Structures are given as C-alpha cells and as structure tokens.
Structure 1
C-alpha cells in the first residue's frame, strides 16, 4: 500500500510537469498567442485539478503511513500481551508441578527430601523476577516486554510506578502507544552511545496529573531538532514509516488534554502530563511534595 501510494504521487507529479511543459511548448511555438487565450480557463482548470490530485495523493500517503505505524504498534502490544500470558501459563504449570511434588514427598513422610527440594527451588526458581506487576495489565505487559528487549540490546533499563494507575482515564492501547513510542525512541537514542546505555521510566501522581518521565542517556538533542520532534514525518533516521512515533505521542497526549515537555542536557527526559480523570492539566510546575504515590524502582 505504501509503495503503491508513492507510485501514484510520483506519477501525478510527472503528469503535472508534463502537462506544464506541453503548454509552455505550445505557447513558444504558437505564431499567434491570442489564439490560446480562449483555452486559458481550461488550461488553468486542468493545472488546478492536477495540483489538487498531487496534494490529495500526498495526504493519502501520509494517512496510510500513520495507519501502518499504528498497526505495527498494535501488533507489538498484542505480542507483548501474548508473551505475558505465555509466561504466566508457564509459571502456573511450574507452580502446580512443585506443589504436587512436595505434596507427594510429605505424604510419603520424606520431610528431609521435601526441605532439600524447597531449598533447591529457592535457589534456582526465579518466579518473582519473571514478571513485574505495576497495577495495570496492559502496562505490565509493555514494561516487561521492553525489559526483555533492553536486555537483548544490552541497555540498562529500569522502571518505577509510584502511584495507582489502575483507574487512569486512558484506554490501555493509547497508554501503551504513548509510553511504547517514547521507550522505542529512548532505546534508539542510547544505542548511539558506546557506553552508559541507560533508559528509565518513572510514573507519579503530581498536582492532579499522572506524570510520566522517560529518561535516556543518549546524545543531547539540539534546540532546532527539539522544536521539530513532534512534526509528522520528521526523523533523523533514513527509514520508511519513520518520523511518526513522536507525532502519534503528541497527538494522543493532546487528545486527552495533556502536554509533553522535552528536557535535554546531560540526559534527555520526555515528560508527559496526563490529567487525572479528565481534569485539565495544571500549567504550574508540578511538585513531588503533592504526590500520593508509592512503590519502588525495578531494574531490568
């Protein structure tokens, strides 16, 4: 679809250019230019129609590209949920097997062997480290999935949810799109650094807002680039369908009455403010002293 749309745009532009060349050639070869005046309204109409077709084709391509990005995000989210379910099923199976084994040992009065078995489980069975729950099913899947991605990329990833987000007034898919895009952007940034690849996310409740901090130790973002980060299609990477992740983040944040700030000094921080239960964002600086959050950091 993307390639077909691009072909339509190129064909339309070439057709428009060819039409203009033919008109100019006709004017140049015409002995009496006044004869062409009768056709000027039709020529102008044709030029307008072709130009309009070019604009329409470009807008259609932009919409198709955004749909491709959103579809890929949805696929990623569903994959993360599927991985979470599979992990939970494995944990359930392992837990049931251990319980049955211990039950059998105790039934046979093999208390010493049961104790040895439990000690072996305590040493080798890392149940609590497999899935870290954050009080929100979709976000649990997202953060644990990103933790695995970070491990594969050799990125030091940590997350901390310090407030109750179970009742956050945003659909799970949109919340995961916001944070998923910001984390992907952070991962891309730190991969440009040879050392000190660190990404972290912290979620708090401050001044009637859910505030989400996404930190990374990638290169500093120049002011000129910062001003264009959320423009559709803007990217520093040479890749199709790039340049829409942060644009979608801004679009979703705006949809829910929030705002997003970017601070880039020794480290880069994207700060998302989302109003609690539809209240408008307080434009005053949020203060941690008003937070009713709780919880601790989890390192990937």
Structure 2
C-alpha cells in the first residue's frame, strides 16, 4: 500500500470513528428528549441503544489501534526488505574487491620486478583511496548496519548530500538486536535526507560512539528547524510533516524505549551569510549497554 493510499485509509477510519462517537452522543441526547418520552419507548430499549453505540465506539477504537499497529509492522517489514537488499549489495561489493585484489597484487609485483617503484607506490595509493569508501564501514561489528549505512551513503551521492559518518563502537560485543539498530538508524537517516536534499548546504552527519556505559547515536541535518512545542509531538503515532504515515519517528522512540534509552532533539538556526539563515536539527539517541 502506497503512502498516499495509507493516509486516505487512515482518514477514512478516523472519520468513521468520529461518526460513531457523534451518533453515540446524539443518541444519548435524543432518547432523553420529551418527544421520545411522549412516544413511551420502553426504558430498556433506550438503554440498549446507548449500549449498542457505546460498543460500536469501543470496537472502532480497537480497530484503529490495530490498524496503526499493522502499519507499524508493515513499515518495519519494508525496512527489513530494504536492508536485505543493501546487505546483498554490500556483500557483492566485498566479493568484487576480493576478486580484484589478486589482480592488484600481480600488477604491484610486476611494477616492482621491473624497477618501477614510484609507479608501484602511486598504484598502491590509488587502490587505498578507492577502498576508503567501503573500508570505513567494516569496524562496526554489525554487518546489517554496515550494509544499511553503506547503502545510504550511495543514496546521499544521488541527492548530492554531503554525508559524513564517524564511529567509535564495536557492536559485535554488545547485546543489541541488529534489526533494532536498523530501525533507529534507518528512520533517522531517511528523515535527515528528506530535509537535507532540499537545503542550501545539503549536509548530514551521523555519529555512533561507545561512551563506556552507553552507546550514543546522533544525526544532524541541514534544512529543518523544529519548534520546542513540537519536539514531543513529532514522536506521536500518525504525526507527520512530510505527507507520510507518521510512523518513522514513532518506531524510533518505541525501539529506544525498549532498551530503556532516551531520545533528544536539538534544533537551531545557523547563519549561512549576512542575509540568510538555515535550520539544523540533531536527534541524539542514548542506549544503555547493560540491558
């Protein structure tokens, strides 16, 4: 189901819910009017009407709750599918690099054998520069997260976004579910890219650090400013400023709370020049290591 279709479906369900509630309130008022009393409708029938509409209202509330839960699951499933695709691409790149490595060794060996030492050095430097694009993701200790961030870095090039990634953490020794890390980082990166790609500086920086007792994930993007009064509202189920389902940040907060962590939002305007200012927003997630 597409985002626009999801939004229309949700609006239809909410409209039905409000209609049922309105009918419930109206029925309570109507059965107590003088007209109904003169018609001498038995009390038990009036009570039955009220209870019937009350039951319908409760059932609709339950339906809406399950609907949002289903959409949340659908969103998470889509993230998993995207991550599997990213992981496949990442593995294929590593396989290709391993295949090319033997060729590189033969070329370097040949240059050394014929005395072309300077050419061998330049060739090694060229290989090293080309490997930097993927090697910086190796040390995370979570192949799924490495694949996700690598895929997002490729997407950043497509949107001409200056995407920086820094980390000081090894997830291989930490008790975090890889899918939870993907839920957090994937949604935050997508949210950051959405605003950065239309901004002046097109800037996004992701940092993941092990501080000893906890893991901190922070992402800063240009192109957005969030008022203080909206910093809590953006995590509410269904709330969105992007014509979407409003599930992304809700999933992030729910996942963070699962680990007893916290998420904070910092937003400010930074002057680009004398006449223009651009908004910058940072989401900072703190996850305790002892879970």
Normalising to structure 2: TM-score of the pair? 0.78
Cα 1:202/1:114, change in 2 over 3 Å: same
Cα 1:209/1:123, change in 2 over 3 Å: closer
Structure 1 match to 2:67: 61
**Which consecutive unaligned segments of at least 5 residues does structure 2 have?**
270-279
Is 1:174–2:180 an aligned residue pair? yes
Q: Give the whole-Å Cα distance in 2 for the aligned partners of 1:198 and 1:110.
A: 46
Match of 2:207 among 191, 202, 215: 202
Is 1:262–2:275 an aligned residue pair? no
Q: Give the whole-Å Cα distance in 1 for the aligned partners of 2:34 and 2:115.
A: 104
Shift of 1:183: 1.3
Q: Give the whole-Å Cα distance in 1 for the aligned partners of 2:239 and 2:148.
A: 25
Structure 1 match to 2:82: 76
**Deviations 1:232-256, CA, capped at 9 Å, x for gaps:** 11111223x2x11111111111111
Match of 2:132 among 129, 133, 137: 129
Higher mean alpha-carbon deviation, 259-268 vs 162-171, is at: 162-171
Match of 2:49 among 43, 48, 65: 43
Is 1:32–2:35 an aligned residue pair? no
Cα 1:212/1:166, change in 2 over 3 Å: same
Tell me if structure 1 keeps the 8 A contact 2:20–2:57.
Answer: no
Is 1:216–2:221 an aligned residue pair? yes
Shift of 1:17: 6.3
Cα 1:110/1:82, change in 2 over 3 Å: same
Q: Give the whole-Å Cα distance in 1 for the aligned partners of 2:128 and 2:261.
A: 42
Structure 2 match to 1:111: 114
Cα 1:63/1:28, change in 2 over 3 Å: farther
Tell me if structure 1 keeps the 8 A contact 2:17–2:60.
Answer: yes
**Deviations 1:211-230, CA, capped at 9 Å, x for gaps:** 12211222321111112121
Q: Give the whole-Å Cα distance in 2 for the aligned partners of 1:54 and 1:160.
A: 47
Cα 1:160/1:272, change in 2 over 3 Å: same
Structure 2 match to 1:292: none
Q: Give the whole-Å Cα distance in 2 for the aligned partners of 1:59 and 1:175.
A: 25
Tell me if structure 1 keeps the 8 A contact 2:108–2:124.
Answer: no
Shift of 1:89: 1.5
**Which consecutive unaligned segments of at least 5 residues does structure 1 have?**
279-300
Within a 5 Å distance, the mapping from 1:242-281 to structure 2 comes to 243-266=246-269, 267-278=280-291
Match of 2:92 among 50, 74, 86: 86
**Deviations 1:249-275, CA, capped at 9 Å, x for gaps:** 111111111111111123322111111
Cα 1:228/1:8, change in 2 over 3 Å: closer
Query: How much is the aligned-residue C-alpha RMSD, in angstroms?
Result: 3.4
**Deviations 1:38-75, CA, capped at 9 Å, x for gaps:** 41121112111211221122112111111111111111
Is 1:234–2:234 an aligned residue pair? no
